[in-house]
Every structure is written in C-alpha cells, then in structure tokens.
Amino acid sequence: MKLFGFLFRYAPHVIVLATALATAGGIASTWLLMMINAHLKGATATPQEVWQFLGVCMLILGTIFAARLSIARLTLWSSFDLRLQIGRQWLGIPLQKLELDGNARLLSAVTQDVDRLSEAMRDMPRLCVDFTITLACFGYLGYLSWRLLAVLLTFIACLTAIRQTQRRHYERLLADAHTHSRTLLASFNAMGSGIKELKMNMARWNAFYTGELYRTSESFRDLSYKSEVLFAFIYGYSEIAYFLFVAILIFGIPWLGQFSQGLTISFAVTVLFMKNNLDHVLESSSQLARAKTSLANLESLGVFEQRSSLSVGRLRGLTARDRIATALEADANLQCHRLDTAARPGIRFKGVEYGYESVSGEGGFKLGPIDLTIRPGELLFVTGGNGGGKTTFAKILCGLYAPLRGELWLDRVRIDAENRNWYAQQFGAVFSDCHLFSRLYGMEDLPDTSSMVDEYLHELRLEHKVKFERGRFSTIALSQGQRKRLALLVACVENRPFYLFDEWAADQDPEFRRVFYFRILPQLKARGKTVIAITHDDRYYHVADRVLKFDGGVLLPDNSANLGVNIPHAIPTAQ
C-alpha cells in the first residue's frame, strides 16, 4: 500500500486513469468468460454475438495498452525525479556522517532501490487487470452458487493464513539480503579505490578476497537463496491448491449438495480461468515486497520528506534546467544574506569546539575551544603535527562541519544551520584529497572564463597537457602534482573572497613550491583575498602574515613574531 500511496501522491490523475482503464480491461475479460461459459452450456452463437465478442477483445486491447502507456510514462518520470532527489539528499547529508557511513547506502538507493520501484510500477497495469478479473470472477461465482463460493472463500482464507505467516518471514529475509547488498557494494567500492595496493600485495588481495568480499558475497547469496526457496514453497503450495479445490468440486459434490453438471463445469472453468490471474498476483507479491523494502530505504534517507522547497512532487513540474537551478539555489538559502565584498569581511571564532568519539567509545578527539579572528586580506599559515586538528579546523572554517559549541561569525553574520550553505560558497578550496571534475561546472558560460583558464594553464605549466574547450578540460588523467595544480586553477577561477589550501605544496616539486608560495599566494593576497594555507614547509613561513599551530586539538598562542613572519620585498619567480 505504501507504493500505491507514493504514486498517488506523486501523480494522482495518472493513477486514477490507469486504474480505471485496467479495471475496465478486467471487467471486459470477465465478460468474455461469461460468454464462453454460456456457449459451453450449448447456446447457439449469432453473428451479433460474434461481433460482440470481437468488440470486447478490442476493448481489452485498448484499455490495457492505454493503462500500460500511462504507467510507463509515470514510471520513467518518477525514477528520473527520485534520482535527482537522491542527489540533493546526498549533498544535504552532513560531511562527517558521510565520512563515517560511506556512500554505499546512497549508491544502493540510486542503482537498486529506484530500479526495483520502477519494475514494480511498470507491472501495476497488469496487476490491476488481474485483481479486477479476480474480483469480477468472485462476483460471477457468487451468481452461479453462493454455497460453492462460500466453500471457495473458506478454502482461500485458510490458504492465505498459512501463506501470510511464510510471507512475513520472506520479507525479513529480503530486508536482510538488501542490507548485505549494500555491504557488498561497499566492498567493491573499497576494491576499486584500493586496486593499486591490492595489485602490489597478493597477500593483502587474498585476505581481502577470501575474507570480506567472500563472506559478504556468501551471506548475500545464502539469504537470497533462502528467500527464493521460501517463495517457491509459497508459490507451489498455492499452485496445487487450485487443483485441490477442483477435486473438491468433482469428488465432493455429494457432500456439498445437488448441483447440475453445467453449474459444476462453469464453476470449475471459472476457477481455472482465475488461476493465472491469482498466480500473477502471488508472483507480484515477491516483486512488491522488494519494492516495499526499497521504498522503506528511500524513506529512511528522507527522499520523500517535505522539509525542502524542492520536493519529489515539485520536481515533476520543473522540466527546464534553469528553473531547477533557480529552485535549488532558493532551497539551499544561497541568497539569505548579501555579503559586502568591498568591505573585505573577516571571520571570527568564539569558543568554537568540535569532537570525535573513538571507535571504542572511550576518550576520542577534541578540538578547541578556539578563539580566533582572521583579518580581511590576511595570508595565514596553519601548521602542526598529524592528528593535531588542522583538517578539522579547516572543515569548520569552510562550513563543512558545524561546531558542537561556540560561534562562528562572518563579518556581522552569525553562521548557523540556516545559512551554512551560503557561508560555504564564500570559499575556494583545494583539499589534500580533492576531486577533479572534467567540466568547469557553474562557470563555463562566463565570458572571461576561457581566457582566465588559459592564463593559469600557462602559469602552472599545464598548457601542453590540458586544453580547455567548451567548458571542459581535455583530460584529468594527470599525475598527483598536476592534478593539484589543475585543482588550484579551478579554485582561482572561482574568484571567492576566501581561499583554503590543504597541504597543496606537498605533492609539488621545488619549482612549483616556489611558484605557489612566492607568486600564487601573494597574487591572491594582492587581489584582496583572505588566504589560509595548511603547510609544513617551515622554510616558507616568512611569506605569511601569521602562522597558527595546532597541537592535540589545541590552538597554541600566536608565535608569528618569533618566526619572523613577513613578506620579502623581492619575490622570486620560477624559471
């Protein structure tokens, strides 16, 4: 029922139309059965009845075709909207939760859950026809003999009670198999990400293959097989039940009362005629059970919640990309504040704290409290040992993490859940694990983009490796250092008020380290940008206005004066 409820909320007029058409087709099929039964009893066919028979056949063809066509459109459009909505949910999930849980559940939703819902929706017209035929046949059987119908209904009630007990167990097996399918997907993702490490260490590969991958695949296989065995039992049990009832009609008539041979034949023919329809309803129960499990998974992801201005239902009315983009921008509250960039705003941390729980639940990591003012146009270096809190600080600074305690301010605007998306748009960043997109999304249509990109490609010595045409880079298959340079290019072209670089120079040769510290960073500062760079290159600390150091989650007192921080008068250039 949840599946029908979702479809009805999504497109009620289509569901009503498809149901009406399928119901008409089912009634017409039962009408044909009644005509056949009448002639089996010896009625003479007239030319008018022949044409009537052919007309009913054409009616069945037309109604079923129209019902399937309307549902096919609904299925494709709803699947399209669900995938877009999952993408929105993906972006809205807090970064820390994604880092802890991984992406397997969301990938499973896109690749499996939506497809299962689509399959169930495509089968709905036939299911409606079968259900209508079954109900109409029950009515016809009641017309033939209410006593035999009472026996049939009692028989079906006993059959259903036994089947429902097994079906609940079957649905639990399906839910467990679905959980293992997500784990299996995560295992293959891990194999894809770590393929180089696996290729270079066969002991690791054998342990991974025979351990995690084998166990997860085995569990998924066994649970799926158990569910299929149980369904085969349910199906076989129901299959033979029809013939048992026909046997009751044939051999048990003396105990049921006196019935004519014609009535017995009509009743038996109708029951056997219903058999295929009831079989399909039963077969669909397996498909609907899978769809129900997928729907529950999508619901748990919040896909159907109406908490945003761009819900699944509203996506149906937005067909143009520009209208969807406008709605997305409004949904993310990107226009909730106007930032006076001419005033060169600063950032303030007031008692900001953040923490992680340890795997064992004891202790953990704590960052802060941090009291810090980042001045407009400042070039700030952040340093410290591994695990000191630099990256966590950077994610809070960029709006990717929400502080557990304390306040974060941009100029005179306090950053909270309502405006954190807007705040994050003020940063251009290159993280140590940055991802490169082949297209310059969001900026490809700006008039000066191509010329600016070409200038940076030349300055970063990438013009012979990468070309920029029609908003797309010709390749991103580069070395790690070159990928970092291309990511730096993208960040600079974005032209944001604030910039964050997470150990950018770590993958660069000495030449490009000098370019970064002596040209790129001073150029950004000269353009009025506020730049924060996480670095361990102590030989370049003098380039910064200040150097902050984290140790064990604590921001140490400012020691920039002791480091002799200042920008030299002469800036070396790379040769």
Identify the bridge partners of residue 439 per DSSP, sorted by sequence position: 472
pLDDT at 508 over 50: yes
Q: List C-alpha distances in Å: 402 to 57, 332, 488, 502.
A: 64, 16, 25, 19
Strand 498-502 to 427-430 pairing: parallel
Q: Which of 349-358, 446-455, 537-546 has the highest mean pLDDT?
A: 537-546
Per-residue confidence band for 569, with pLDDT thresholds at 50, 70 and 90: very low
The predicted-structure confidence for 224-238, as pLDDT tens digits, reads as follows 888 888 878 777 776
Task: Give buried/exposed letters for 386-424 (b at 16+ CB in 10 A, else e).
Answer: eebbbbbbbbbbbbbbbbeebebbbeebebeeebbbbbb
What's the confidence (pLDDT) of residue 79?
A: 76
Instruction: Work out the angle at residue 533's Cα, subtended by the Cα atoms of residues 530 and 536, and round it to the nearest 5 degrees.
Output: 155
Tell me the average pLDDT of the chain.
78
The highest-confidence range among 5-9, 123-127, 268-272, 341-345, by mean pLDDT, is 268-272
- More confident call, 105 vs 568: 105
More confident: 153 or 309:
153
Which residue in this structure is represented by tokens 């009472």?
150
For residues 318 and 402, which has the higher predicted lDDT (pLDDT)?
402
pLDDT of 62 over the 70 cut: yes
Q: What is the DSSP string of 23-68?
A: HHHHHHHHHHHHHHHHHHTTPPP-HHHHHHHHHHHHHHHHHHHHHH
User: Where exactly does CATH 1.20.1560.10 map onto the chain?
Assistant: 2-174+227-304
Lowest mean pLDDT among 43-52, 54-63, 385-394, 506-515: 43-52
Per-residue pLDDT at 254: 59
- CATH 3.40.47.10 for domain 344-563, yes or no, is no
Q: What is the pLDDT of residue 205?
A: 77
Residue 572, pLDDT score? 37
For β-strands 472-473 and 468-469, DSSP reports them as: antiparallel
Q: How much of the chain, in percent, has pLDDT values that exceed 70?
A: 81
Q: Across residues 427-444, what is the average pLDDT?
A: 81
Q: What span, in angstroms and rounded, lies between the C-alpha atoms of 134 and 30?
A: 9
Q: Is a pLDDT exceeding 70 seen at residue 200?
A: no
pLDDT of residue 570 exceeding 50, the answer is: no
Q: Of 562 and 345, which is predicted with more confidence?
A: 345
Res 392: pLDDT: 92
pLDDT for 319 beyond 90 = no
pLDDT the model gives residue 567: 42
Cα(256)–Cα(439) distance, rounded to whole angstroms? 77
Q: How many alpha carbons lie under 13 Å from residue 291 in its C-beta half-sphere? A: 23
204 φ/ψ angles, rounded to the nearest 5 degrees: -65, -45
pLDDT at 575 exceeding the cut of 50? no
User: Is it the case that residue 315 has pLDDT exceeding 60?
Assistant: no
Q: Does pLDDT of 14 surpass 80?
A: no
Looking at per-residue pLDDT, the higher value among 569 and 178 belongs to 178
Q: What is the pLDDT of residue 214?
A: 85
Residue 554 pLDDT: 92
**pTM for the complete prediction?**
0.65
Q: Where in the chain is the domain with CATH 3.40.50.300?
A: 344-563
Domain range 2-174+227-304, CATH architecture: Up-down Bundle (1.20)
CA distance 421 to 441: 17
Q: Looking at per-residue confidence, does 319 or 167 come out higher?
A: 167
Percent of the chain topping pLDDT 90: 17
CB 516 within 8 A of CB 504: yes
pLDDT at 307: 45
Determine which helix (DSSP H) or strand (DSSP E) holds 380, and give its type and residue range.
strand 379-384
Could you give the CA distance from residue 234 to residue 243 in angstroms, rounded to a whole number?
Answer: 15
Burial of 526 (0-12, 13-18, 19+ CB in 10 A): exposed
Is 94 strand, coil or helix? coil
Instruction: Report pLDDT digits (tens) over 480-499.
Output: 889 999 999 989 888 889 99
Higher pLDDT, 327 or 100: 100
Mean pLDDT of 33-46: 70
User: Which range, 60-64, 155-159, 293-297, 517-521, is most confident?
Assistant: 517-521
DSSP state, residue 441: T
